[in-house]
Amino acid sequence: MSRELSLAEIFQLGYYWETKILLTAVRLDVFSALDGKRKTLPDLAGRLGVHGETLGLLLNALVAMRLLKKEGEFYENAAVAATHLVRSSAQYVGHLLLLHDAEWDNWGKLEQTIRTGKRSVDRHVFETDPDLGGNVLAVLHRIGQQSGPDLAKRLQLRGPVRFLDLGGGAGTNAIAFCQAYPELSATVFDLPATLRLTERTVKDAGLESRIALLPGDFNKDGLGGPYDVALMSDILHYQEFSTNASLVKRVWAQLAPGGRLVIKDRFLNEAGTGPAWTTAFAVHILVNTERGGCYKTADAIQWMADAGFVNVTELEPSAVVQGIKSREV
Ligand SMILES: C[S@@+](CC[C@H](N)C(=O)[O-])C[C@H]1O[C@@H](n2cnc3c(N)ncnc32)[C@H](O)[C@@H]1O
């Protein structure tokens, strides 16, 4: 059994000041203004067009948080901030932090949501701000490039597989699958706005001849096909249970006999109390989506079984479920 929390840890859990200081600095783009240069407070305030004295308090806190350094009157970026928080850096991750900041007001409505059971948002920030959504997907593509190859290897595919990456985003998985299997050809199905980003990532990977882009709404439009393998990675938690059940049926119809569907998501355990990150993610989905939810592995197994898949198995606990479309259909 895990040990009891200390009082200090309870205080730490309730402490968000530094979070908002960092998010505000990213919004003001403090780190880009200091790119490669040391600056005094008046100089930096002038450059950012903000109030000098108050900016000083923010900068001093950032120094204490080890994101900036201060020597005499001069501020400069710490190495980690220069790498990840300066917009022109190839390893910039600020878009992900800007997403958290854009969701800040929604978190303020959590109490009301719990009291009433009513969601406070009617559209996810990816819909209200598609540019931010695209930028976030690009960051996730860059930092998540290891999970695609691992999944590709685990599936042990052979021959000229026709692969569907449904809601494939930046094409991270389609690219990894093409790189793992030289005979595989992929289709990334996603919303037209997202595919603008996918076009770039696929081109950067030199895979334009093997990855087709299919624009549409996966709940309404034709999905192409037939396919031998379909992947639904991190798309179902944005939707309600019945929509997911219908979508799994639509995918079953587009698979060739003997084909398989792989669902990769953040599943909760049976009690709903783990994995720890996913329990908090479930609350995040509650406050930031109109109908989304974190589901259990058993839910994914049910969607697949109801759609007609056989040999439905959990390939990775709380993460990956696979079902086969029988050859006798
Ligand atoms: C969290 S991202 C997951 C991206 C990718 N599958 C991955 O695992 O990296 C969710 C994706 O679903 C797409 N999406 C959401 N609703 C959609 C819809 N109705 N039709 C098609 N794509 C959709 C979004 O554009 C986005 O690319």
To test the ligand 1 pocket, which listed residue (150, 188, 190, 246) has its Cβ within 8 A of the most ligand atoms?
Answer: 190
CB-CB neighbours of 12 under 10 Å: 10
Indicate which residue's Cα is closest to atom 10 of ligand 1. 235
Inter-CA distances, 19 with 111, 200, 249, 280, Å: 20, 32, 42, 16
Rg over alpha carbons for the chain, rounded to the nearest Å, is: 23
Atom of ligand 1 nearest to the CA of 235: 10
Listed residue (263, 57, 13) closest to 155, CA to CA: 263
Atom of ligand 1 nearest to the CA of 166: 6
**Which residues lie closer than 8 Å to 90 by C-beta, 6 or more apart?**
none
How far is residue 205's CA from residue 11's CA, in Å, rounded to a whole number? 46
Contact criterion met (CB below 8 Å) for 292 and 238: yes
Q: Which two tokens stand for residue 188?
A: 């990334």
- What pLDDT was estimated at residue 125? 75
How far is residue 214's CA from residue 99's CA, in Å, rounded to a whole number? 26
Task: Check residue 128 and give left, alpha or beta (phi > 0: left; psi -120 to 50: alpha).
Answer: alpha
CB-CB neighbours of 262 under 10 Å: 19
Atom of ligand 1 nearest to the CA of 165: 6
- CATH 3.40.50.150 region(s) of the chain? 135-324
How far is residue 74's CA from residue 256's CA, in Å, rounded to a whole number? 64
pTM (two decimals): 0.93
Task: Give residue 76 CA to ligand 1 midpoint distance, Å.
Answer: 38
Residue 254 identity:
Q
| Helix, coil or strand: residue 206 | coil
- CATH 1.10.10.10 region(s) of the chain? 7-85
* CATH code for the structural domain at 135-324: 3.40.50.150
* CATH code for the structural domain at 7-85: 1.10.10.10
Task: Give residue 167 CA to ligand 1 midpoint distance, Å.
Answer: 4
Pocket of ligand 1 (CB under 6 A): 137, 140, 167-169, 172-173, 190-191, 194, 217-219, 233-235, 238
**What is the per-residue burial (b if ≥16 Cβ within 10 Å, else e) of 89-108?**
beebbbbbbbbebbbeebee
pLDDT tens string, the chain, 329 residues long: the values are 578 999 999 999 999 999 999 999 999 999 999 999 999 999 999 999 999 999 999 999 999 999 999 999 999 999 999 999 999 999 999 999 999 999 999 999 999 999 999 999 988 777 788 888 888 998 889 887 878 999 999 999 999 999 999 999 999 999 999 999 999 999 999 999 999 999 999 999 999 999 999 999 999 999 999 999 999 999 999 999 999 999 999 999 999 999 999 999 999 999 999 999 999 999 999 999 999 999 999 999 999 999 999 999 999 999 999 999 999 87
